[in-house]
Amino acid sequence: MVATAFGLARQWCAGREIDGHPTLSHAVRVAVKLDQHLPAVPPQLIAAVLVHNSPEFAPATVDVDAALTVWLGPEITRVVAAMHREHAAMDAGVPAVPPLRDLWTLYASAADKIVSVGSILARAAAADDPKDFWCGRQAFVALVPYFREFHTATSARLPAGLRDELGLAVALAESATAAPASTAAAGDAGGSSCPGRWGRAS
């Protein structure tokens, strides 16, 4: 099952990137993160995170739900669809925490956030001009409060290690983006403000 999911992700997401990394590499890092924090992580959950970006990147000719159900099963399809709904809501500026009863989606989403936030923070730290870096990523800055909301809402549901690593990532994101937020406010008062929004994928 995991090998099948890896093959589908490699086929559907070839040449695409998330947070400066190939989409498949990002998915593998999310899977590794889950394996670090979940004892005996179910292979179905690993398979789900490997293909979780497929609805966004698969060719338009592919019926992703149908293909995932045939190749991997309905539970993987359900988790992938739930993660895609959260991603779409985040991109639309109306993020919402997935249902707290849906533990697999919460685990996968938490690991996805740890990897994504960590990647962005690493790129910011390596940037020649951190202020300019964050000015080009206002959509991420706008989502940081949602990351905190997600962490607060899911803390009692996540394994301790996953919860704590997500909390640290969110705290670091809050600290890193606080200055650009004040800079943008100064721009509204007549200084130079940051330019427009960015997308999480390229």
pLDDT digits (tens, 9 = 90+) for 4-40: 999 999 999 888 888 777 889 999 999 999 999 998 8
Three-state DSSP state, 98: coil
Q: Is residue 66 part of a domain?
A: yes
- With pLDDT > 90 as the criterion, what percentage of the chain qualifies? 76
Q: Is residue 196 part of a domain?
A: no
Q: Is residue 80 part of a domain?
A: yes
Domain with 159 in it: 2-188
Residue among 126, 108, 133 at smallest CA distance from 50: 108
CATH for 19: 1.10.3210.10
Residue among 167, 49, 80, 182 at smallest CA distance from 117: 167
Q: How confident is the model at residue 180 (pLDDT cuts 50, 70, 90)?
A: very low
* Tokens 């970006």 sit on residue: 53
Beta bridge partners of 18: 21, 201
What are the pLDDT digits (tens) for 188-198? 444 445 543 33
Q: What is the per-residue pLDDT for 194?
A: 56
| DSSP, residue by residue, 46-57 | HHHHHTTTHHHH
Q: Is residue 62 part of a domain?
A: yes
Q: Is residue 193 part of a domain?
A: no
pTM (predicted TM-score): 0.87
Q: Is residue 10 part of a domain?
A: yes
146 touches 87 (CB < 8 A): no
User: In degrees rounded to 5, what are phi and psi of residue 17?
Assistant: -130, 155
Residues 76, 14: Cα–Cα separation, whole Å: 21
Residues 143, 136: Cα–Cα separation, whole Å: 14
Three-state DSSP state, 148: helix
pLDDT over 80 (residue 160) = yes
Q: What is the per-residue pLDDT for 181?
A: 44
pLDDT over 80 (residue 88) = yes
Give me the long-range contacts of 15-18 (CB less than 8 A, separation at least 24): 16/53, 16/57, 16/201, 16/202, 17/201, 17/202, 18/53, 18/116, 18/200, 18/201, 18/202
pLDDT over 50 (residue 200) = no
Three-state DSSP state, 121: helix
Q: How confident is the model at residue 179 (pLDDT cuts 50, 70, 90)?
A: low
Query: What is the overall mean pLDDT for the chain?
Result: 88
Structural domain count, the chain: 1
96: CB partners within 8 A, 6+ apart: 86, 89
Span 116-140, mean pLDDT?
92
Element containing residue 18 per DSSP (H, E): strand 17-18
Q: Is residue 198 part of a domain?
A: no
Q: How confident is the model at residue 138 (pLDDT cuts 50, 70, 90)?
A: very high
Q: What is the per-residue pLDDT for 45?
A: 97
Q: Is residue 199 part of a domain?
A: no
Helices H / strands E in the chain, number of each:
10, 2
